[in-house]
Structure 1
Amino acid sequence: MSGKAISFATREYSKEEVLRVLDPLVAEWFSGKFEDLTPPQRYALIPIHEGKNVLVSSPTGTGKTLTAFLIALSELFGMARRGELEDTVYVVYVSPLRALNNDIYRNLEEPLREIRELAEKRGLEIPEIRHMVRTGDTSSSQRQSMLRKPPHILITTPETLAIILVAPKFREKLRSVKWVIVDEIHSLAENKRGVHLALSLERLRELVGRDFVRIGLSATINPLEEVAQFLVGYNDDGSPRECVIVDARYAKRKTLRVVSPVPDLVHTPAQEVTAKLYETLYEIVRKHRTTLIFTNTRSGTERVVFHLKQLARKRGDIPEDAIAAHHSSLSRNVRLDVEEKLKRGELRAIVSSTSLELGIDIGYIDVVVLVGSPKSVTRALQRIGRSGHRLHETSKGVFVCVDRDDLVEVAVMTREAYRHHLDRVHIPRNALDVLAQHLVGMAIERKMSAEEAYRIVRRSYPYRDLPWEDFENVLKFLSGGYGELEEYKVYGKIWYDPEEKVFGRRGKYARVIYTLNVGTIPDEVSVKVLTLDRKYVGNIEEEFLERLMPGDRFVLGGKVYEFVKSDGLTAYVKPAYEQKPTIPAWFSEMLPLSYDLAVRIGEFRGQAFEWISKPGGLERLKEYLKRECKVNEEGAEAVAGYFLEEYLFLRSLGVEKFPSDRVVLVERYRDADGRVHHVFHTLFGRRTNDALSHALAYLASKRAGANIGIAVHDNGFALIYPPGVEPQVSLMDVAPSELEDILKKAVFNTELMRRRFRHVATRGLMILRNYKGHEISVEKQQLSAGTLLRVIRKWEDFPILKETFREILEDYMDIAHAREVLEKVHSGEIEVVDIGLLDTPTPFAYNIILEGLSDVVLMEDKRALIAKFHEELMRKIARAKAQAQAAR
């Protein structure tokens, strides 16, 4: 990336300098309304006025939105006064949330009205500047009136923008666009919605015929240079477009605390830990006006609300109805009601899974509490940034942890947050399903040369390196080039002439098909669970089904079932009441730990063990945790005790190397059922461990001729061998260059592959969600996907198959970092220390083994098992000490 194209704003401008470039009316309104500029405004307004692309990254409540709109408002009012304002769109504002769009609409009403009133006072007659929201919720009568009187400021979503680009009449209104504002860009960049938007913006650029000013708004994100390039893309000659980055991420002060409700997280009975957790939360709520509590799962949200309400009822000092839940499974009306109450200041506590992370205006929050780890520094800061909404206020965050691994993770995360070390964003590359959708869109617009379309596509950041062969294969697929697919009702949506290299739309339904099937978010559905004799058991989420392998056992409705197979959206199980479940029920909702943070935790492990091995080291570790990581006394005790146990146990075994970012410890543990858990302490985050574990389990299954189970954790993974089968693989068995090939074979016959193939085939318009106005059930889509997957497996270059593998290996797993880990193992930069078979696991292995042992719905079981491991461990350490003393 050339240094010239992307630059950081270094010059601050004064309020006077900004007022000088604004339209006199807007300047008068602004100076009467605001005492001074906020940090993003000081740096960003003049570059936007000069027509430069700008990416603004700053916390909630720092005036980002006004920064984005002010210059455009100024120019629109100037045009209105000069009588130059036409019935056409000048500003396109895109955000990922409909709720945020409605917020922006309301927030713009005030300046537009007040500036007009000011004009009238000055005796000026000026036409109205219109702003409207257009999303999937917009009625056809509203759409019609928008054609007659288009908004000057159009507020929309990525999906709707793609649809209006092919709307024959309305697209003409977009030729005048001068500014495009992309809000909450951090939540778009890391998934296919962002990829989709990047292509839409290049198509819009083609329609307009010149560059427009792009303004990106983001909360905390990293690296800013990459996100800026994602926002602006490239010129036709391949050179990066320019962008000025306004980095005001640290404009607000923050205070963070890490709290463990009890000093001993092993021996304290489960009920007591749980009671102390809710009391801790309740005390925080009691001491503040409004508290926002994040749990990582929807079920966690419901539990916290239930217990807080119980305490409120018992103590009587907080009204019960001042505590509410907010998550994506609740109906829209319930969510809106909660948001309104929050804005009116009627709520004392609001508990959310992830739904309140983005910038919808929710009024004033004093403190944000995070139950458990948010898994990345960036996400932690985004969540905590919701508190102290005004610029001069401090964002206040409290992490509450009841698990030792969580405690270590959050301690390091807090230290990194103060050091401004953020996790890097992962932007999907060369997604062929999204490309297919856009090529159909381009074909609807006009007959087009393939080379021209290729040039437009490659201007966008996610397709910068797209090979021509892949591009042409997508055209071949879309134009029915794989003939035998017609038997399965997959017909060409476009025509393509490979000789002349031109393509266009085929059939009169192309536009309807495109409009009804546009978008990247798969239909989320629940899966029916039946016994083999077809008795209904209950429902599970599709994401949960993705994880299941035949033989896996899980809890549903309080009973244990073994997964046998799935057919479409039905999972077949057999009762396994007497046996332990192998898959925790909340698995699908877990956020993965980021690779960057995982490596830092590995470094911290190394440092902690080094201190503990020296006199006075334990006190030094506790002091460090309290000073640098803001951990409370109880938390520091719990972490120090955890490391000391691991250290003493490994020493009692004669092991001199301890797990860190440079040492991967490997151990084996035989459980009560005779199964061996082959544990790899690879602290690299769940996505990386997903890739490593699937590759090793595939090799192990081949060698053992048996099904090998997998338990994946952020801190490592375990391969679970059936009784009588001994482990026979190591990390050295997978060459970095062979990883991709092994993983493709490993995932091909899994539920994960079948589900993801349906998602990709739907995005790539191979399977339609809606045909001629008829919704096609997900059940039918899945059956089609199953059939098609069997048909196309022989064509390796088939775009939909290729994209399914890419999505699983790069976006769902993290093959790039898994390869990096293997390279370091092979070169000796990471040392693998195998400590053999143990009859009790090391403390760092507890959570990894529990992941594959018992269902954590039963918190008591988990604690009892950890306590049992712990007793055995302490006996062993004592015995080793006694032997050492006797030997002296």
Structure 2
Amino acid sequence: MSGREGLVYATREYTKEEVLRVLNSLVAEWFDRKFRDLTPPQRLALIPIHEGRNVLVSSPTGTGKTLTAFLIALSELFDMAQRGELEDTVYVLYVSPLRALNNDIYRNLEEPLSEIRELAESKGLEIPEIRHVVRTGDTTTTQRQNMLRKPPHILITTPETLAIILVAPKFREKLRTVRWVIVDEVHSLAESKRGSHLSLSLERLRELTGREFVRIGLSATINPLEEVARFLVGYNDDGTPRECVIVDARYAKRKSIRVVSPVSDLIHTPAQEVTQAMYDLLFDVVKKHRTTLIFTNTRSGTERVVFHLKMLARKKGGIPEDSIAAHHSSLSRGVRLDVEEKLKGGELKAIVSSTSLELGIDIGYIDVVAQVGSPKSVTRCLQRIGRSGHRLHETSKGVMVCVDRDDLVEVAIMVREAYRHHLDKIHIPRNPLDVLAQHVVGMAIESKMRVEDAYRIIRRSYSFHELPYEDFINVLKYLSGGYSELESYKVYGKIWFDPEEGVFGRRGKYARVIYALNVGTIPDEVSVKVLTLDRKYVGNIEEEFLERLFPGDRFVLGGKVYEFVKSDGMVAFVKPAFEQKPTIPAWFSEMLPLSYDLALKIAEFRGQMFRWIESGKDPEEIREYLKRECKVDDNSAEAIIGYFLEMFYFLRSLGIREYPSDRVILVEKWLDEQGRIHHVFHTLVGRRTNDALSHALAYLATKKAGANIGIALHDNGFALVYPRGVEPQVTLKDVKPEELEEILKKAIFNTELMRRRFRHVATRGLMVLRNYKGHEISVEKQQMSASTLLKVVKRWEDFPILKETYREILEDYMDVHHAREVLEKIHRGEVRVVETPLLDTPSPFAYNIVLEGLSDVVLMEDKRALIARFHEQVMRRVADLMKRESTRAAT
């Protein structure tokens, strides 16, 4: 084994014989009959688990991860059962983020448990039953009482339910015996506050057991494994990292990915033809395969693909119409379960999903995954494609379909990086104070506690290892009613806290009920009513979408354009703007952001392409490189080369010899027909980083101009849109790296984003309750309370709920750290900023950025037409130059 500081990589592969020797004889015989050999994760992980070591297993779907996690525990449970030592208590705790996955695991355990029992009976052995049970929010009171009478030996649950049972007076006693904790889909938990929440629950469980238990994390493709391992195991009381064996079997399966474009000319082909060609291509993929899983990036996209595939099935035949189905989070649970069952039963030819089928529920046999548009990160690309070729010896097969030139470049580099095993880095939230507040209340319910003991337990969690002591004390102060003015707003202390003696405990007989009914980190999402100023109902939008809106923004609803005026609770007020173009696309809130790591690779590739073009490299060689390294088809290669040539000659026609790359930020000014200047920044750093940069710059620009400056946001850059007659007066150099955070706090304070996120944080931090003594409190009421409280607490800089709202927006929603990094590189001169003169047409690389501020789904045709028009203007500008260059090359 090789490793550092508590972490070691498993390098020794054990044979099946070696593993069978350490198993209970019944379990060994069952396993030997059932499986010809061990899978890669089993060869590396089973013996370390048997030795009682913490293990993180990262490998693709279909490589036997689940059995790897359970086999040793099952073996020891059967040992105990045979020795008559099995008690009515919990030994194995399995936690996953999905209820559907929990039910899957329950069914998957049913088989080995019953088959091993049958084997025992056939040998005349009488052994007690090993019980396994699922406990989630869906579990009835009767089922919970049964669990208390006959506790399961294996408890399958979710992070939220675990937090509740830790304070259930009787059932928590059954958890003292836990010896193994299995955390499934650990990568998806680690990235969100659900992971921070779970990490604290595990430390509280560790306190309850009074000794260490074996932690087993199961993860799909993720990076860096060291950080995920640290997250899984946390730290010892003395601050040293706990040990963990990392099993890296991420590349255990072969993959075959290709990038395709339905037409060779993505500019001049009419929009309708491009989309039709795309649906024909998808239909062809579905027809050639047994079962195709198609991913789109939005729920609306999912519905459109299903609709068009059904139309083609009707027209062309060959595929039954009812063998094509949609699966996304807006569908009811019943519909989703029905689709999952049909899929498992092999009744579907094609299933179309947004993100809901990314995680590991067993969906039966899929032989190809098609992806429409870019999945925005190498990791997500591999996770999605990994859903195909479910068995170990099969190849995971993916077809990436692109109908946009930026998408093509992005996906080509994504696939190249996937083959090079370069994965994006995971972002794990640090010190979320709302999650901390919830757990402090939970700890107070368990028993009276010394402050220093609680702080020690909390800092064992990776998510809170660097928690400043003063933040912890402020949380105690807030929870114990230390901000007395809040009482007049019905925010009462949930705990008592004696700072002199350094102890705290629960306050009031309802504390446990309030905690149990309000536990968890997922905010209540509801749709927001849209009314005109004279209160006429227009329709509904999602809350995520409302977060993005500033007064003056325009969007399409019900086929008409409206301008956002203000919001009140869960109502958005608008006025008609029918004659105007929308500024915010309706699907914007659903878009996945491009990862920072992949964005930098694409920016590097841009530099490489421009160097090749400048040095006169043969286009045939570039085409071969793209086909070999990036797995693109001829159409895609053609489109990518054409795209870069246009940009190259466009900049040459302006006398500019520096091209956008990871070392050069191009900034252009384009004057549109309405007389507005679009100040376009080609910062290819992903949307979260651009979100931070654009908000800071727009704030400074608005202050200087004394007028509202619009933002068009994209993964490849952003544009500040100035009203007619207003000249741009800010540059990236105006934002000092060390001032970025303060500027952003000012920029976001009066926004919808701040109001909504403050409510989410306040409900997590038990400041605004979702449920009081069994009464649901409507989201509208929660929002009204939160808006009032925000006005009250804004003067307390260190108030935990306010501090956490800023942290969540700047670090988790935006990416302030990488934005600061970009600014530092500019200030150090490592990245140059190159400006164009005022242009009458945007550059080819700017099309999608400026269109972000002009387009909507309804206006897809207009968008294509506009790109074609921009293209004609660019080609007119560069035609002579291209002719001169090619003549020179020929002579």
CA displacement 1:438-483 (0-9 Å, x = unmatched): 0000000000011100000000000010000000000000000000
Cα shift readout 1:283-339 (whole Å, capped 9, x = no counterpart)? 000000000000010000000000000000001110000000000000111101100
2:597 matched to which residue of 1?
596
Tell me which residue corresponds to 1:661.
Answer: 662
Is this contact kept in 1: 2:570–2:783, CA < 8 A? yes
Report the CA distance between 1:859 and its aligned residue. Answer: 1.2
Structure 1 residue runs of 4 or more that deviate by more than 3 Å after TM superposition: 879-888
Q: Is the 8 A contact 2:5 2:241 kept in 1?
A: no
Give the letter aligned to residue 173 of structure 2: E
Alpha-carbon separation, structure 1, partners of 2:192 and 2:791: 27
Partner of 1:149: 150
The question of 1:41 aligning with 2:57 is answered no
Which AA in structure 2 matches 1:264?
D
The separation in 1 between residues aligned to 2:886 and 2:865, in whole angstroms, is 32
1:287 equivalenced with 2:284 (yes/no): no
Measure the CA separation in 1 of the matches of 2:89 and 2:198: 21
Cα distance between partner residues in 2 of 1:112 and 1:808: 46
* Residue 857 of structure 1, CA deviation: 3.2
**Matched residue type, 1:505:** R
Contact 1:430 1:463 in 2 (8 A): yes
State the 1:879 CA deviation.
4.6
Q: Distance in 2 between matches of 1:53 and 1:218?
A: 14
How many angstroms apart in 2 are the aligned matches of 1:572 and 1:325? 33
Q: 1:881 to 1:144 in 2, by over 3 A?
A: closer
Q: Aligned residue for 1:854?
A: 855
- Whether contact under 8 Å (1:449, 1:502) holds in the other structure is yes
Q: TM-score, normalised by structure 1?
A: 0.99
Structure-2 separation of matches of 1:485 and 1:785: 12
Say if 1:711 and 1:848, in contact at 8 Å, map to a contact too: yes
**Cα separation, 2, equivalents of 1:886 and 1:380:** 43
Cα pair 1:611 1:620 within 8 Å, conserved: no
Q: Distance in 2 between matches of 1:256 and 1:204?
A: 43
> Which residue of the partner structure matches residue 105 of structure 2?
104
Tell me, in whole angstroms, the C-alpha distance in 1 between the residues paired with 2:573 and 2:213: 54
The separation in 1 between residues aligned to 2:881 and 2:46, in whole angstroms, is 68
**2:330 matched to which residue of 1?**
329
- Unmatched 5+ residue regions in structure 1? none
Structure-1 residue corresponding to 2:745 = 744
1:519-561 alpha-carbon deviations (Å, 9 max, x no partner): 0000011000000000000000000000000000000000000
Q: SS in structure 1 opposite 2:208?
A: helix
Paired position in structure 2 for 1:257: 258
SS at match of 2:4: coil
Q: In structure 1, the residue corresponding to 2:523 is in which secondary structure?
A: coil
Identify the residue that residue 68 of structure 1 maps to in structure 2: 69
Deviations 1:193-240 (A, max 9, x none): 000000000000000000000000000000000000000000000000
Q: Does 1:765 align with 2:766?
A: yes
* 8 Å CA contact 1:666, 1:836 repeated in 2: no
Match of 2:725 in 1: 724
Structure-1 residue corresponding to 2:519: 518
Query: In the TM superposition, what is the alpha-carbon distance from 1:2 to its structure 2 partner?
Result: 8.4
Residue type of the alignment partner of 2:163: A
For structure 2, the 5+ residue unaligned runs are: none
Q: What is residue 734 of structure 1 aligned with on the other side?
A: 735
Match of 1:176 in 2: 177
1:3, CA displacement in angstroms?
A: 1.1
Please report how far the alpha carbon of residue 670 of structure 1 lies from its aligned counterpart in structure 2 after TM superposition: 1.0
Q: Is the 8 A contact 1:399 1:410 kept in 2?
A: yes
Q: Secondary structure at the match of 1:857?
A: helix
Q: CA deviation at 1:878?
A: 2.1
Cα pair 1:584 1:857 within 8 Å, conserved = no
TM-score norm. by structure 2 comes to 0.99
Q: Matches of residues 186-197 of structure 1 in structure 2 within 5 Å?
A: 186-197=187-198
| Partner secondary structure for residue 543 of structure 1 | helix
Quote the Cα distance in structure 2 between the aligned partners of 1:878 and 1:17: 71
8 Å CA contact 1:652–1:881 kept in 2: the answer is no
The amino acid of 1:846's aligned partner reads: Y
Q: Distance in 2 between matches of 1:184 and 1:465?
A: 25
Q: In structure 1, how many angstroms separate the alpha carbons of the residues matched to 2:45 and 2:887?
A: 73
Structure 1 residue 884 displacement after superposition: 9.2
Q: Residue 583 of structure 1 aligns with which residue?
A: 584
Amino acid at match of 2:110: E
The structural deviation recorded for 1:618 is 2.5
Report the residue type matching 2:138 in the other structure. D
What's the offset of the Cα at 1:882?
7.5
2:399 is aligned to: 398
Question: Which residue matches 1:440?
Answer: 441
Amino acid at match of 2:546: L
Match of 2:226 in 1: 225
User: Residues 360-399 of structure 1 correspond to what in structure 2 (within 5 A)?
Assistant: 360-399=361-400
Q: CA offsets per residue over residues 423-444 of structure 1, 9 Å max, x none?
A: 0000000000000000000000
User: How big is each residue's C-alpha offset from its partner over 1:650-694, in whole Å with a ceiling of 9 and x where there is no partner?
Assistant: 001110000001100000111111111100000000000000000
2:273 alignment partner, SS class: helix
Tell me what 2:616 maps to: 615
**Does the aligned pair in 1 maintain the 2:3–2:9 contact within 8 Å?**
no
Kindly provide the amino acid, as one letter, of the partner of residue 683 in structure 1: L
Counterpart AA for 1:560: V
How high is the sequence identity, in percent, across the aligned residues? 81
1:636 alignment partner in structure 2: 637
SS of residue in 1 equivalent to 2:858: coil
Matched, 1:315 2:316: yes
The CA distance in 2 between the partners of 1:129 and 1:845, in whole Å, is: 62
Query: What secondary structure sits across from 1:637 in the alignment?
Result: helix
- 1:714 paired to 2:679: no
Aligned-partner SS, 1:858: helix
Name 1:693's counterpart in structure 2: 694
CA shift for structure 1 position 761: 0.2
**Which deviations, in whole Å up to 9, do the C-alpha atoms of 1:98-124 show, x marking residues without a partner?**
000000000000000000011111111
Q: Which amino acid aligns with 1:489?
A: K
Q: In the alignment, what sits opposite 1:452?
A: 453
- Aligned: 1:833 with 2:834: yes
Paired residues of 1:559 and 1:577 also in contact (CA < 8 A) = yes
**Post-superposition CA distance 1:459-517 (Å, at most 9, x none):** 00000100000000000000000000001000000000011110000000000000000
- Which residue number corresponds to residue 805 of structure 2? 804
| Alignment map for 1:458-497 (pairs within 5 Å) | 458-497=459-498
Letter in 1 for 2:288: K
Q: How many residues align?
A: 888
* Contact 1:856/1:862 (<8 A) preserved: no
Structure 2 distance, partners of 1:883, 1:36, is 66
Q: 1:883 Cα deviation (Å)? A: 9.0
Q: Does 1:553 align with 2:557?
A: no
Distance 1:36 1:619 in 2: 47
Q: 2-side partners of 1:475 and 1:296: how far apart?
A: 42
Q: In structure 1, what residue type is equivalent to 2:496?
A: W
Shift of 1:881: 5.7
Q: Which residue of 1 aligns with 2:819?
A: 818
Deviates more, 1:848-857 or 1:63-72: 848-857
**Residue 5 of structure 1 pairs with residue 10 of structure 2:** no
Partner residue, 2:92? 91
Contact 2:762–2:768 (Cα < 8 Å) also in 1: yes
Cα distance in 2, alignment partners of residues 322 and 855 from structure 1: 31
Q: Tell me whether 1:649 sits opposite 2:650 in the alignment.
A: yes
User: Residue 567 of structure 2 aligns with which residue?
Assistant: 566
How much does 1:733 deviate?
Answer: 0.2
Contact 1:612 1:621 in 2 (8 A): no
Contact 2:297–2:354 (CA under 8 A) maintained in structure 1: yes
- The one-letter amino acid of 2:829's match is G
Within 1, Cα distance between the matches of 2:858 and 2:299?
14
Q: CA deviation at 1:563?
A: 0.3
Q: Which residue of 2 aligns with 1:346?
A: 347
Distance 1:880 1:73 in 2: 73
Separation in 2, partners of 1:126, 1:400: 55
Q: Deviation digits for residues 624-651 of structure 1, max 9, x if unmatched?
A: 1111000000000011100000001100
Separation (CA, whole Å) in 1 of partners of 2:266 and 2:624: 19
Measure how far apart 1:856 and its partner are. Answer: 3.6
Preserved contact between residue 649 and residue 881 of structure 2 (Cα < 8 Å): no
Paired amino acid for 1:590: M
Counterpart residue number, 2:131: 130
Aligned to 2:423: 422
- Report how far residue 853 of structure 1 moved: 1.5
